Amino acid sequence: MSNGKFKIYDKLNDVTHYTELIKDNFSVFYKDKKAKVYVHSYGCLQSVSDGEKLKGILVDMGYIATDVLEEADVILYNTCAVRENAEDRVFGNVGVLKALKKQNKQLIIGIAGCMTEQDDVKKRIQKSYPYVDLIMGSNAFDILPKLLYDKLSNNKKYVELEPITEKSDIIENIPVYRDDKIKANVSIMYGCDNFCSYCIVPYVRGRERSRASSEILEEIENLVKQGYKEIMLLGENVNSYGKGLENDIDFPTLLKKINAIKGEFWVRFMSSHPKDCSKELIDTVAACDKIEKHIHLPMQSGSNSILKVMNRKYTIEHFMSLVDYVKEKIPNATLSTDIIVGFPNETREDFEDTLSALRKARFDTVFSFIYSKRTGTVAAKLDDSVTDKEKSDRMCELLSIQNEIIVEKMQSYVDKTLRVLVDTYNTERNSVLGRDSGGILIEIENGDKTLKGRFVDVLITSAKRTLLLGKIV
Ligand code: SAM
Ligand code: SF4
């Protein structure tokens, strides 16, 4: 099949074959040049994790990873479609690449990720950014080697148009390039079946698919052996983990198996959909010493009528009962949430319900977003009576209430001792930074850089809004 300048593939999965072909011919394609690759991911951790695989594949082929855009021979943007502003940023950044392409005729530009699963976006890239060579979907790591090989050997442009919803294979053993040597992302499932009315994810990432538990456990065992200290398990709805797998394993059971892996490390996970968050999951977090005492439970709204139109399939009363259960079973747990402000036709009363839920739940972190219309979703068809000004005013109001809550909460840690995983050395202040099992940022005043990657007990001496200060005890 062909689509103008772009050749269209229906199914390309042969990662190993084409990776080997590029490896074998690398010196032919690049002569003696040490060719470099630049990969940037936009959006959520799932996208970052996919970007680490894309980079891993390219480094495995022979490219050298670089953080300097101008040095690169391959530039890959791994995109996010969840909100419009992330898409705008991608288009802006792709526009800048035109000049680089003029300077380096051999430069290969690829765009991967959720944005490229949308037909209108694909067409816009082909029409307005003709210097883009490869357009891949959100499973780009399956097809990148084949597309890149064809580009290098035939100098053809390729676009992958296979609908994501039909993709069911999960390819294992893809090399992963992790910049971080202490914390590692591990995807345990892909896709989403929930179809919240505002959300593009089910359309661009396809149906839920879980990785085999044996593969996940082996990957984590290897990461722990390599010295990784924090494993972040990723999935759009981790509570659905295991659906459709032959060995009938669920998420709490997977957590228990991970907890049994030998070694000193912590595990965290996101996201946990409130409609599927079971008491068993909360009990498991409480009981397992390696599972961090933090739960991300996206509320979205405090109004039952908005939750209904959002198709979230829980009530605010059910959500609050989960929050109460977490607080009862894990008193030291931190809770974070996502909130959408200005959903179509959100009344002042609906918004007040969100504020009162915020005051009641007292989250430690709130990720708040102004509603962004996503073409193709159910909510995009709704008329909207709320003005942009009302939306941004509501966002400011929400942030200021959450600010007061967080200042009080941070103050309550003073004089307590927290176990901290040190992950950063601050050269300017000659101090080290880390996070506790709830994810709170802590600066250790008497720490030195040898502590990076180690767990230490820290007495909290003072608190700022976003940071605790303390000393090793
Ligand atoms: N699967 C997770 C859940 O539902 O709990 C959330 C994953 S989603 C990629 C991350 C967050 O982006 C959502 O929780 C929601 O708050 C936000 N989001 C998704 N679609 C949005 C939209 N159209 N406008 C604004 N925010 C949106
Ligand atoms: Fe989007 Fe809802 Fe799926 Fe989360 S659960 S990814 S918000 S559709």
Query: What whole-number distance in Å separates Cα of residue 392 and Cα of residue 351?
Result: 12
Pick the residue whose CA is nearest to atom 19 on ligand 1.
199
- State mean pLDDT over 241-250: 86
Instruction: Say how far apart CA 246 and CA 116 lie, in whole Å.
Output: 32
pLDDT at position 362: 97
* Chain Cα centroid distance, residue 72: 25
- Mean predicted confidence (pLDDT) in 247-253: 89
Give the Cα separation of 458 and 440 in Å (integer): 12
pLDDT higher than threshold 90 for residue 304: yes
Ligand 2: residue of 45, 194, 209, 238 to mutate (most ligand atoms within 8 A of CB) is 194
Q: Which residues line ligand 2 (CB under 6 A)?
A: 192, 194-196, 199, 201-202, 236-237, 273
Whether 56 has a pLDDT exceeding 70, the answer reads yes
What DSSP line would sit under 202-266, residue for residue?
A: HHHH-S-EEPPHHHHHHHHHHHHHTT--EEEEE-TTGGGTTTT-TT---HHHHHHHHHTSSSS-E
pLDDT of residue 12: 39
| Nearest alpha carbon to residue 147 among 57, 42, 28 | 57
Band of residue 239 on the pLDDT scale cut at 50, 70, 90: very high
What value does the mean pLDDT take over residues 294-298? Answer: 96
Strands (E), 246-364: 266-270, 294-296, 334-341
What pLDDT score does 235 carry?
Answer: 94
pLDDT of residue 10: 36
Backbone CA torsion sign across 26, 30, 33, 35: negative
For 253, residues 6+ apart whose C-beta sits below 8 A from its C-beta are 242
Residue 2 predicted with pLDDT over 50: no
Pocket test for ligand 2, best of 192, 200, 238, 239 (most atoms within 8 A of CB): 192
pLDDT tier, 159 (very low <50, low <70, confident <90, very high otherwise): low
95-105 per-position pLDDT tens digit: 999 999 999 98
Tokens standing for residue 361: 């739940």
Please, what is the average pLDDT of the chain? Answer: 91
pLDDT at 166 over 50: no
* pLDDT for 216: 96
Q: Please tell me the distance from the alpha carbon of residue 330 to that of residue 396, in angstroms, as a whole number.
A: 31
For the CA of 374, the closest atom of ligand 1 is 23
Residue with tokens 């442009």: 157
Ligand 2 center from residue 368 Cα (angstroms): 15
Cα(67) to ligand 2 centroid in Å equals 32
Residue 5 pLDDT exceeds 50:
no
The pLDDT score that the predictor gives to residue 185 is: 96
Res 141: pLDDT: 79
Q: What's the 82 CA to ligand 1 centre distance in angstroms?
A: 7
pLDDT tens digit string along 355-368?
999 999 999 999 99
What is the model's pLDDT at position 19?
87
* Closest among 112, 254, 273, 110 to 187, alpha carbons compared: 254
Averaged over 312-321, what is the pLDDT? Answer: 98
Length of the chain: 473
**1 band by pLDDT with thresholds 50, 70 and 90:** very low
- % of residues, the chain, pLDDT over 90: 76
Predicted pLDDT of residue 160: 57
C-beta contacts of 348-354 below 8 A and 24+ residues apart: 349/303, 350/301, 350/302, 350/303, 350/305, 350/306, 351/303, 351/394, 353/301, 353/302, 353/303, 353/304, 353/306, 353/316, 354/299, 354/301, 354/302, 354/303, 354/398
Please say if the pLDDT value at position 311 is more than 90. Answer: yes
- If you write DSSP's letter for every residue of 34-55 in order, what string do you get? --EEEEEE-SSHHHHHHHHHHH
416 Cα: distance to centroid of ligand 2 (angstroms): 37
Residue nearest to atom 5 of ligand 2 (CA): 194
Measured CA to CA, the distance from residue 339 to residue 371 in angstroms comes to 9
Q: Which residue has the higher pLDDT, 85 or 472?
A: 472
- pLDDT digits 0-9 by tens, 141-158: 778 888 899 899 886 666
Residues having CB within 6 Å of any atom of ligand 1: 44, 82-83, 198-199, 201, 236-237, 271, 273, 298, 300, 338, 340, 369, 371-372, 374
Out of 165, 201, 311, 377, mutate this one to test ligand 2's pocket (max ligand atoms within 8 Å of CB): namely 201
Judged by DSSP in three states, 387 sits in: coil
Task: Give the 3-state secondary structure of residue 65.
Answer: strand
Cα 339 to averaged position of ligand 1 atoms, centre (Å): 8
The amino acid present at 159, given as its one-letter code, is: V
Residue 439 has pLDDT above 70, yes or no: yes
Ligand 1 site-directed mutation target among 45, 234, 369, 388, most atoms within 8 Å of CB: 369
Cα 126 to Cα 8: distance, rounded to the nearest angstrom: 13
Average confidence (pLDDT) over 180-206: 94
DSSP three-state, residue 294: strand
Pick the closest to residue 109 from 125, 124, 121 (CA basis): 125
Q: How far is the CA of 278 from the centre of ligand 2 (A)?
A: 18
How confident is the model at residue 281, as a pLDDT? 97
- What pLDDT is recorded for position 253? 96
Which ligand has the minimum distance to the alpha carbon of residue 273? 1
* Nearest listed ligand to the Cα of residue 374: 1
Average pLDDT over residues 332-358: 97
